[in-house]
Amino acid sequence: MKTKILQMLRQQGEGTYRSGQELCRQLGVSRTAVWKYIKQLKEEGYVIEAVQNKGYCLLSAPDILSKSEVESVLPTRWVGHPVYYYDEIDSTNTQAKRLGEEMEGKEGHGAVVVADKQSDGRGRRGRGWESPHGKGVFFTILLKPEVEPSNASMLTLVMALAAAKGIEKASGLKTAVKWPNDIVIHGKKVVGILTEMSAQIDYVNYIVIGTGINVHYREFPEELAHKATSLDLELERQGLEPMVSRAALLGAVLEAFEHYYGVFMETQDLSMLAEEYNACLINCGRKVRVLDPLGEYEGKALGIEARGQLMVERGKEVVAVSSGEVSVRGIYGYV
């Protein structure tokens, strides 16, 4: 009910009022019930003005990631329906996998697990991802697509493109992608993505794509300070007010993912997204160092091909680099 009230107040537009009578009629509840939910919203930090004979007006919203707040700003058709919100959880990926195991068939496809804090957040190769209260956006999308297991890893790059575009829409900051799935601003990482899959030889049971976005972080551990940043720090760097709503940011990223996922599913590869991805690729056209367990080498990154492999010009040959145990760095640093 709180979600519906927030949606209706937001639909009115800034500075306009929605009458209590209209809220009652559309929601099918009493005036006392509407007043009770308005009171709860005020207690959560929403500034709602009530004027006799005019109704209610939403003046401002707190930067919170409650289920009602996220659902009230979600512009998607199927991604994030439903939202599972947790004030604190071990890992959104872990919980999404639990849901994937519990739900039969296509049930749960598009569900999003969101947490304000993760006690056991993880990045690639088992690295920890610091996830304190009120600092970032930590979420996982549960998917049950009809794709070949060999095609599933490409969805990580789909998520990277969506995260980059969603951040630009919500914050106005210019982003770039560091192959395959790190989002960077001014050469520092602001987003991490971890994709995991449960599959049989020829069938995908489910895929979970976890994403962590640094929003309100003010500082980082010494070992990360040279390569990590946050949206607030980058906005301040440009002399702008750090006013990013985490719920609106999440909505923008999910909306972008829904679009790019649809494009991906038309061909089950990145052939229709490669050009847009390469336009965002910070490595493209630059010399890079490929950290291959079989031996490091340097070359010029040419961009990705249809399956998401990074094409690297190495002397007179062009090598297709696959993600996984291979990393790519800039010649002089992280990018």
Q: Which of 226, 71, 251, 68 is nearest to 165 (CA)?
A: 251
**Domains of the chain, earliest start first:** 2-60 (1.10.10.10), 67-278 (3.30.930.10), 283-330 (2.30.30.100)
**Cα within 13 Å of Cα(167), Cβ side:** 31
The answer on pLDDT for 89 being more than 60 is: yes
CB neighbourhood size of 148 (10 A): 12
Distance CA 67, CA 179 (A): 32
3-state helix, strand, coil in the chain (%, to 5): 35, 25, 40
Reported as a single tens digit per residue, the pLDDT across 49-62 is: 999 889 999 999 99
Categorize the per-residue pLDDT at 233 as very low, low, confident or very high, splitting at 50, 70 and 90.
very high
What per-residue confidence (pLDDT) applies to 326?
65
pTM (two decimals) = 0.92
What per-residue confidence (pLDDT) applies to 127?
63
- Which residues have CB under 8 Å from 153's CB, separation 6+? 195, 308, 323, 324
217 φ/ψ sector (left φ>0, alpha ψ -120 to 50, else beta): beta
Peptide bond into 132 cis (omega under 30): no
The answer on pLDDT for 126 being more than 60 is: no
- Which residues have CB under 8 Å from 63's CB, separation 6+? 134, 216, 244, 245, 246, 247
Categorize the per-residue pLDDT at 310 as very low, low, confident or very high, splitting at 50, 70 and 90.
very high
Question: Are the C-beta atoms of residues 180 and 290 closer than 8 Å to each other?
Answer: no
